Amino acid sequence: AQSVTQPDIHITVSEGASLELRCNYSYGATPYLFWYVQSPGQGLQLLLKYFSGDTLVQGIKGFEAEFKRSQSSFNLRKPSVHWSDAAEYFCAVDPYNTNAGKSTFGDGTTLTVKP
Amino acid sequence: EAQVTQNPRYLITVTGKKLTVTCSQNMNHEYMSWYRQDPGLGLRQIYYSMNVEVTDKGDVPEGYKVSRKEKRNFPLILESPSPNQTSLYFCASSSDRDYGYTFGSGTRLTVV
């Protein structure tokens, strides 16, 4: 069965600093990989996704993520964090070759931005 | 506007009283899914659907039912709610599995 691990429950960064949120997955092959953001009291919004091709993918709001097959990782990055980026971030996987539509989310990382 | 609409947004009910949370999408998406979100547990998939009349269990299906009689609607049914089903529920839809999901605004359910 697939699984997703987000090792950091809570991260605090200063506004303007760089950000990296970690995501590791466990699956037999390369799955579909996603990052979502959830602002307080809101639903989730898709930031970016990866399945194949260039391992560095660009998303909305200035985010990017890098897929590393050897490390089974899909870490989310942003060069300069804005106060409005404070939210909860979820990594998710969808298996490639079976169970279309079945998805697994990590437990989330809460980002706090200091002024 | 393209969206996933859930109703109600908030619901307080009593143990054992059947309820339905509705979900509708206007994007002609094939895939739809229900999740529950609990503190420290992230999002867990309850049921998902690949198309009309095609549904399958997610990770936590016990105590829930779904149906997909029309492409746009995917209601979540709790036949006999219990307090451990108190949670924040999200419906989501997607045009294809590599597109990612569009989420509704959530339904906060409290079972007393």
pLDDT digits (tens, 9 = 90+) for B89-102: 999 999 887 788 99
Chain A and chain B share a number of CB contacts under 8 A equal to: 63
Q: B33 contacts in A (CB within 8 Å)?
A: 101, 103
The mean pLDDT of A9-38, rounded to a whole number, is: 92
The mean pLDDT of A1-22, rounded to a whole number, is: 94
What pLDDT does A99 receive?
61
What pLDDT does A3 receive?
87
User: Please, which pLDDT band fits residue A97 given cuts at 50, 70 and 90?
Assistant: low
pLDDT of B44 > 90? The answer is yes
Residue B52, chain A, CB below 8 Å: the answer is: no
User: Please, which pLDDT band fits residue A1 given cuts at 50, 70 and 90?
Assistant: confident
The mean pLDDT of A91-115, rounded to a whole number, is: 84
Please indicate whether residue B39 or residue A63 has the higher confidence score (pLDDT).
A63
Is the CB of A32 less than 8 angstroms away from the CB of B98?
A: yes
What pLDDT does A9 receive?
94
By the 10 Å C-beta count (0-12 exposed, 13-18 middle, 19+ buried), B27 is classed as middle
Instruction: Check: CB of residue B25 under 8 Å from CB of residue B102.
Output: yes
Q: A36 contacts in B (CB within 8 Å)?
A: 100, 103
Closest alpha carbon within chain A to B107: A43
pLDDT of A16 > 80? The answer is yes
Instruction: Check: CB of residue B94 under 8 Å from CB of residue B31.
Output: yes
What pLDDT does A30 receive?
73
% residues pLDDT > 70 (chain A): 95
C-alpha closest to that of A19 among A102, A83, A103: A83
| Helix, strand or coil, per DSSP, at residue A60 | helix
By the 10 Å C-beta count (0-12 exposed, 13-18 middle, 19+ buried), B6 is classed as buried
- Mean pLDDT, all residues of chain B: 94
Q: Which residues contact A75 (CB under 8 A, 6 or more apart)?
A: A20, A21, A22, A23, A65, A66, A68
Q: Write the DSSP symbol of residue A101.
A: T
Residue A110, chain B, CB below 8 Å: the answer is: no
Is the CB of B92 less than 8 angstroms away from the CB of A94?
A: no
Q: B42 contacts in A (CB within 8 Å)?
A: 90, 105-108
What pLDDT does A96 receive?
61
C-alpha closest to that of A47 among A31, A55, A56, A58: A58
The mean pLDDT of B39-63, rounded to a whole number, is: 92
Least confident of A48-52, A60-64, B31-35: A48-52
Residue identified by tokens 């809101």 is A42
3-state DSSP percent of chain A in helix, strand and coil, to 5? 10, 50, 40
Is the CB of A100 less than 8 angstroms away from the CB of B103?
A: no
**CA pseudo-torsion sign B4, B28, B67, B61:** negative
- Mean pLDDT, all residues of chain A: 91
Is the CB of A49 less than 8 angstroms away from the CB of B49?
A: no
pLDDT of B37 > 90? The answer is yes
Q: Which residues contact B62 (CB under 8 A, 6 or more apart)?
A: none
Residue B61, chain A, CB below 8 Å: the answer is: no
Q: B59 contacts in A (CB within 8 Å)?
A: 104
Beta-carbon count within 10 A of B21 CB: 21
Q: A105 contacts in B (CB within 8 Å)?
A: 35, 42-45
